[in-house]
């Protein structure tokens, strides 16, 4: 599935170090061409979830999510050559529905390195348990979420993008973004991955309250 020529372009010691991480870590070019993947990312691709490899390029579970992933990678590569006030980082869902109770996102960022003069992009693939309906009231009560914020969290926790959640809730994208920012502020998080981890951490001690 992975070309030995491509996978061997990075130093073997670096590859061994990346293999120690449980999370999926991949390095690609601007067009999504895979340069390196650690053992966790390779296992994900071989299992067919949440990433796949098609024609040597990273892709997700659907054409829509694959397009978002490739666009994020391209934009990260473009950002590598531009002076930016804030570091570029993009988080994207990799599937629309939970897989065996889990969701997955890709965190994309440019690397301060090039290969053959071309920009490289890091893709971190993270999985986490999805939020069950029965746990939503616990989270809502714990953090004082409004009903609108709770509904927004419910849809985002099921793997929907902000745009898809807006459509499902019959709201504007800006309104959903506002709800998400309010949720971040109330929970003390700044990224969807951190928010889902917080929810999961609360699950065990609060599930039976």
Q: Give the confidence band of 58 by pLDDT, cuts at 50, 70, 90.
A: very high
Domain ranges of the chain: 4-128, 131-206
Mean pLDDT of 150-177: 87
**What is the pLDDT at residue 205?**
39
Bigger pLDDT: 126 vs 16 = 126
3-state secondary structure of 12: helix
Task: Encode burial over 128-140: b for 16+ CB neighbours within 10 A, e otherwise.
Answer: bbbbeeebbebbb
What pLDDT sits at residue 3? 44
136-143 and 173-187 helices, crossing angle to 10°: 70
Query: What are φ and ψ of residue 42, in 5° steps?
Result: -65, -40
Architecture of the domain defined by 4-128: 2-Layer Sandwich (3.30)
How far apart CA 68 and CA 132 sit, in angstroms, is 26
C-alpha distances in Å from residue 34, one per residue of 41, 47, 134: 11, 17, 40
Q: How confident is the model at residue 13 (pLDDT cuts 50, 70, 90)?
A: low
Residue 19, class by beta-carbon neighbours within 10 Å (0-12 exposed, 13-18 middle, 19+ buried)? Answer: middle
Kindly report, residue by residue over 112-139, the tens digit of the pLDDT: 888 888 899 999 998 876 655 546 676 7
Give per-residue pLDDT as tens, 29-45.
999 999 999 999 999 99
Q: Please identify which residue in the block is written with the tokens 């914020």.
A: 149
Please determine, looking at this structure, whether the domain spanning 131-206 carries the CATH number 1.10.645.10: no
Which pTM does this prediction carry? Answer: 0.62
Q: What is the pLDDT of residue 183?
A: 93
Q: Are 51 and 58 in contact (CB under 8 A)?
A: yes
Tokens standing for 53?
A: 């490899």
**Cβ atoms within 10 Å, residue 127:** 20
């Amino acid at each position: 599935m992975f070309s030995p020529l491509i996978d061997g372009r990075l130093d073997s010691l670096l590859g061994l170090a990346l293999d120690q991480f449980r999370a999926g870590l991949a390095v690609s070019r601007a067009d999504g061409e895979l340069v390196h993947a650690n053992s966790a990312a390779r296992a994900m691709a071989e299992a067919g979830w949440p990433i796949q490899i098609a024609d040597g390029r990273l892709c997700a579970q659907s054409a829509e999510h694959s397009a978002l992933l490739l666009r994020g990678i391209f934009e990260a590569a473009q950002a590598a050559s531009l002076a930016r006030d804030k570091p570029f980082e993009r988080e994207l869902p990799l599937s629309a529905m939970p897989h065996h109770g889990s969701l997955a996102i890709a965190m994309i960022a440019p690397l301060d390195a090039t290969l053959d003069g071309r920009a490289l992009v890091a893709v971190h693939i993270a999985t986490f348990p999805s939020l069950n309906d029965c746990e939503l009231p616990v989270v809502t009560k714990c953090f004082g979420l409004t009903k609108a914020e709770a509904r927004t969290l419910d849809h985002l926790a099921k793997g929907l993008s902000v745009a898809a959640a807006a459509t499902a809730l019959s709201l504007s994208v800006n309104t959903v973004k506002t709800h998400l920012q309010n949720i971040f502020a109330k929970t003390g998080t700044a990224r969807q991955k951190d928010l889902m981890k917080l929810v999961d951490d609360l699950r065990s001690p609060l599930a039976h309250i």
